[in-house]
């Protein structure tokens, strides 16, 4: 052990003292909407498998089919020998659904944001420093991409399109402009003002980049998401699509550029055939899942409505959630952990989300509703919460 390892130990102790220490648990998926931990079964309100596709027989069938056909891995970067034919078919489907000229599959949403933003903000290509204007609550992976590119973001107030516009307007002398947002914010379940952002981007000659991780599959016509019109959409197959992997949808020029410059594509092994199979099956199923999307929306709406009195009484809040993600913002990290522990005792799994994932003083429980939940599951959740 190196002597300086003690600084990491001090960091861990500090996390513990502030109720911010994280732990990895061994979690067995039990069935759609349920998990088993240490032998106990819980109703799962902490999964992004919004449409229950993780367990869908068609995804499992295509996963097995492509593994049997092409093996367990792709064996190389896609630019070397890892680009088996299913990639092009899936990319075509994505581009069609998103209404863009082209699309590119990457390894994960986190990696996509990191690698794509890093490539786009490359000062040696742009010949100037880019002006990057971002929603304050954008996902950690977008910040990661910006810092990898050594870009200092101008961070506008959450959802405040006018504030974004002010930043863009005051940057007339700068380099090329980019506006970054999530469509549905992962920890708040609220929706970016996409129409306004599109107009601003248009007027200010700005490239709008939208992370549609939590909109894709669940929201928009046929589940196509909420990023329509964005210059570049980044999304993931790991949430409503039930599997893994990510995509970028954009013009052919931008996809060709990323093929030359995106480190996450060039220096990383292509997704395994089995994963591509699951993605392909998920995309084919999307148009048929209208009932599932409606059920998800109804569960979340009912939860927000029935919790209104209790949240008011306790000084909590469900923020501006309009989607399947509903935060119960409590404030204090310890109190959030205590409530999460109480729910677990009652057989309900809901994760407490604490800083630095969310801003200081806004620790919360993040409820994610899925089509696998029944009305009885929601009854049970509400009854237990009202007894706290």
Ligand X SMILES: Cc1ncc(COP(=O)(O)O)c(C=O)c1O
Q: How far is the CB of 238 from ligand X (least distance, A)?
A: 4
Whether residue 211 lies in the annotated active site: yes
299 an active-site residue?
A: no
- Distant-in-sequence, close-in-space partners of 43: CB < 8 Å, separation ≥ 6: 33, 34, 347, 348, 349, 373, 377, 380, 381
Cα→Cα distances 2→11, 13, 15, 71, 341, Å: 16, 18, 21, 41, 37
**Quick one: CA dihedral 223, 225, 231, 234, positive or negative?**
negative
Catalytic residue from among 165, 190, 211, 377: 211
Q: Which residue is nearest to ligand X (CB)?
A: 109
CB atoms within 10 A of CB 261: 17
SS3 category, 329:
strand
Give the SS3 label for residue 305.
Answer: helix
Closest CA to 344 of 42, 47, 45, 46: 42
* Cβ-based burial of 55 (10 A; exposed 0-12, middle 13-18, buried ≥19): middle
351 binds ligand X (CB under 6 A): no
Residue 141 binds to ligand X (criterion: CB under 6 A): yes
Question: Would you count residue 108 as binding ligand X (CB under 6 A)?
Answer: yes
Nearer to ligand X, 209 or 348 (CB): 209
Stretch that binds ligand X, among 6-14, 211-219, 281-289, 308-316 (CB under 6 A): 211-219
Whether the CA torsion 80, 82, 86, 90 is positive or negative: it is negative
Q: Which of 102, 232, 246, 365 touches ligand X (CB under 6 A)?
A: 246
298 assigned to active site: no
Closer residue to ligand X (CB): 246 or 385: 246
Is 232 an interacting residue with respect to ligand X (CB under 6 A)? no
Tokens coding 9: 């130990």
Q: Which stretch binds ligand X (CB under 6 A): 63-71, 149-157, 210-218, 340-348?
A: 210-218
List, as own/partner pairs, every contact residues 157-166 make where C-beta atoms lie below 8 angstroms and the sequence separation is at least 24, other chains included.
Answer: 158/185, 158/188, 159/135, 159/190, 159/192, 159/193, 159/320, 161/193, 161/196, 161/197, 161/200, 164/133, 164/135, 164/197, 164/200, 165/200, 165/204
183 binds ligand X (CB under 6 A): no
Q: Taking a C-beta distance cutoff of 8 angstroms, is the pair 265, 106 a contact?
A: yes
Residue range at the interface with ligand X (CB under 6 A); choices 105-113, 271-279, 327-335, 375-383: 105-113
Q: Does 186 bind ligand X (CB under 6 A)?
A: yes
Quick one: which of 386, 354, 344 has its CA closest to 25? 344
By CB under 6 A, is residue 236 in contact with ligand X?
Answer: yes
Residue tagged active-site, from 34, 143, 158, 239: 239
Size of the site for ligand X (CB under 6 A): 14
Choosing from 62, 182, 188, 292, which is the catalytic residue? 182
Regarding 370 and contact with ligand X (CB under 6 A), the answer is: no
In whole angstroms, what is the distance from residue 319 CA to residue 329 CA? 7
Among residues 220 and 385, whose Cβ is nearest to ligand X? 220
Q: State in angstroms the smallest separation of the CB of 8 from ligand X.
A: 25
Identify the active-site residue in 214, 224, 299, 373. Answer: 214
Residue number, 323 or 377, with CB nearest to ligand X: 323
Q: How far is the CB of 109 from ligand X (least distance, A)?
A: 2
Q: Does 178 bind ligand X (CB under 6 A)?
A: no
Q: Is 172 labeled as catalytic in the residue annotation? A: no
Active site residues: 48, 139, 182, 186, 211, 214, 239
> In the complex, which residues of this chain contact ligand X (CB under 6 A)?
108-110, 113, 139, 141, 182, 186, 211, 213-214, 236, 238, 246
């Amino acid at each position: 052990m190196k002597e300086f390892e003690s600084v990491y130990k001090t960091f861990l102790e500090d996390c513990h003292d502030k109720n911010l220490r994280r732990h990895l648990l061994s979690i067995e998926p039990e069935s759609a909407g349920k998990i088993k931990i240490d032998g106990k079964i819980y109703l799962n309100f902490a999964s992004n498998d919004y449409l229950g596709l993780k367990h869908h027989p068609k995804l499992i069938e295509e996963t097995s089919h492509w593994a049997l056909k092409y093996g367990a891995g792709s064996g190389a970067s896609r630019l070397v020998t890892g680009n088996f034919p299913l990639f092009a078919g899936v990319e075509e489907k994505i581009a069609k659904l998103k209404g863009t000229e082209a699309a590119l599959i990457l390894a994960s949403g986190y990696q996509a944001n990191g690698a794509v933003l890093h490539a786009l903000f490359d000062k040696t290509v742009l010949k100037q420093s880019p002006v990057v204007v971002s929603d304050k609550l954008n996902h950690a992976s977008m910040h990661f991409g910006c810092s990898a590119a050594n870009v200092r973001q101008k961070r506008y107030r959450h959802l405040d399109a006018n504030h974004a516009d002010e930043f863009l307007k005051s940057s007339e002398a700068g380099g090329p402009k980019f506006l970054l947002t999530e469509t549905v914010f992962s920890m708040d379940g609220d929706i970016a003002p996409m129409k306004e952002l599109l107009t601003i981007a248009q007027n200010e000659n700005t490239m709008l980049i939208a992370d549609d991780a939590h909109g894709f599959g669940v929201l928009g016509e046929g589940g196509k998401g909420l990023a329509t019109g964005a210059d570049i959409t980044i999304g993931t197959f790991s949430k409503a699509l039930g599997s893994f992997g990510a995509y970028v949808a954009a013009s052919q020029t931008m996809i060709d550029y990323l093929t030359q410059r995106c480190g996450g594509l060039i220096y990383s092994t292509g997704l395994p055939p089995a994963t591509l199979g699951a993605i392909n099956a998920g995309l084919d199923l999307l148009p048929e899942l209208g009932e599932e999307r409606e059920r998800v929306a109804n569960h979340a709406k009912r939860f927000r409505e029935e919790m209104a009195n209790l949240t008011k009484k306790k000084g909590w809040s469900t923020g501006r959630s309009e989607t399947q993600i509903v935060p119960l913002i409590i404030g204090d990290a310890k109190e959030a952990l205590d409530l999460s522990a109480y729910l677990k005792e009652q057989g309900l799994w809901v994760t407490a989300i604490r800083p630095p994932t969310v801003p200081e003083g806004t620790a919360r429980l993040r409820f994610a509703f899925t089509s696998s939940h029944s009305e009885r599951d929601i009854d049970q959740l509400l009854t237990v919460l009202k007894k706290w």
